[in-house]
Amino acid sequence: MPLDSSVSHAFSDAERAAVYRAIHTRRDVRGQFLPDPVSDEVLARLIHAAHHAPSVGFMQPWNFLVVRSPEVKHRVHAAFAQAHAEAATMFPDDERRQRYSALKLEGIREAPVGLCITCDRERTGPVVLGRTHMKTMDLYSSVCAVQNLWLAARAEGIGVGWVSIFQPEALQAALDIPERIVPIAYLCIGHVSHFHDRPELEKSGWLPRLPAEELVYFDRWGQGDGQHPLACQLAALRS
């Protein structure tokens, strides 16, 4: 068991830079998966990282459903395909609808591993420390597990894509997940040919990156200050 002092010693500049590198080069991967298998050793490190996410009341509400069966991947893909076709009809203007349909949005069948991260809302009983007033906190814990895994994967050179275009019930049916268990994320995981330099939706002009300094308020909602040193620092980081 490490002592507090060893846990607490400062990160070196190089260590700090590595953490920022993982954060800033993490990508949602859809089309760059290679067929090379992901070893159980690497996958275990990724799941171990996810399992060390923060969880409300130390509830650890997650499960990790590992999909390697081509048959199961095809069932998951069919659930995606149905929702994707429905989604295309929802965009009000033609141009947007066509651009949406042309996007590559998932690698369910190509990625060697699928991973569904779930939330068991009843894991530790009805009263959960920290969830008494914000009822969604357990769902958020499982999301933190997703993000931990995603950053660890980036450091391993492994790509991750989060597919959310499913009717939740269809995804549950494809994976035999009971009704009471919430599927949080279906992740496509695998080695990749490369990582894009910027998010694909940004590169393709779907939406622009917002200037972070415009999203900052001070002490009360709506109180921005473009001249505040924090805003200036954020603007400087942007370029």
Window 163 to 222, contacts with a copy of itself (CB under 8 A): 164-168, 175-178, 181, 184-185, 192, 194-199, 201-202, 206-207, 209-210, 212, 215-222
Q: Of 97 and 110, which has the nearer Cβ to a copy of itself?
A: 97
Report the nearest approach of a copy of itself to the CB of residue 151 (Å).
6
Show the tokens assigned to 173: 């049916």
Q: CB 121 → a copy of itself: shortest distance, Å?
A: 13
Instruction: Report if residue 37 touches a copy of itself, rule: CB under 8 A.
Output: no
102 binds a copy of itself (CB under 8 A): no
How big is the site for a copy of itself, counted in residues (CB under 8 A)? 125
* 18 forms part of the interface with a copy of itself (CB under 8 A): yes
Indicate which single residue of 31, 65, 101, 109 sits in contact with a copy of itself (rule: CB under 8 A): 65
Burial track 6-28 (b if 16+ CB lie within 10 A, e otherwise): eeeeeeeeeeeeeeeebeeebbb
The CA-atom distances, in angstroms, between 178 and each of 18, 49, 71, 162, 182 are 39, 25, 20, 21, 8
- How many Å apart are CA 30 and CA 34, to the nearest integer? 11
Q: Are 140 and 56 in contact (CB under 8 A)?
A: yes
